[in-house]
Amino acid sequence: LAKTTQPISMDSYEGQEVNITCSHNNIATNDYITWYQQFPSQGPRFIIQGYKTKVTNEVASLFIPADRKSSTLSLPRVSLSDTAVYYCLVGDISSGSARQLTFGSGTQLTVLP
């Protein structure tokens, strides 16, 4: 199982770009990298997923270097409502192997006015 390491917390100000980096040194060939956001008392919400290079969607970008041993979630121009815990998950969830998806402690992002 690929173990992930993220900063425990980060602070930012409204309007800034936030980059959260996750280390996953023992990522396996078939593993994908998925980021989730969680607000208090709510379920994790899917943000973005990638395998290599760069992925962008309407809310975030995900940068994955060639060796895939880390990944960086980039949130452009954050607002107060982006205050949440962000989780990096690494695993192969083909055929329902979700046991391999292990939630770590996540990164508590606090956006300040």
Partner 1 sequence: EPEVTQTPSHQVTQMGQEVILRCVPISNHLYFYWYRQILGQKVEFLVSFYNNEISEKSEIFDDQFSVERPDGSNFTLKIRSTKLEDSAMYFCASNTGSDNSPLHFGNGTRLTVT
Q: Should residue 105 be labelled a site residue for partner 1 when binding is judged by CB under 8 A?
A: yes
Q: Should residue 46 be labelled a site residue for partner 1 when binding is judged by CB under 8 A?
A: yes
Residue at token pair 């940068």: 63
The beta strand positions in the chain, using DSSP E, are: 9-13, 18-23, 32-38, 45-50, 53-56, 61-64, 70-75, 84-91, 107-112
User: Residue 46 or residue 67: which is nearer to partner 1 going by CB?
Assistant: 46
Nearest CA among 95, 41, 65 for reference residue 50: 65
- Number of residues in contact with partner 1, rule: CB under 8 A? 27
**Looking at 7-15, 17-25, 39-47, 69-77, which segment touches partner 1 (CB under 8 A)?**
39-47
To the nearest whole angstrom, how small is the minimum distance from the Cβ of residue 3 to partner 1? 13
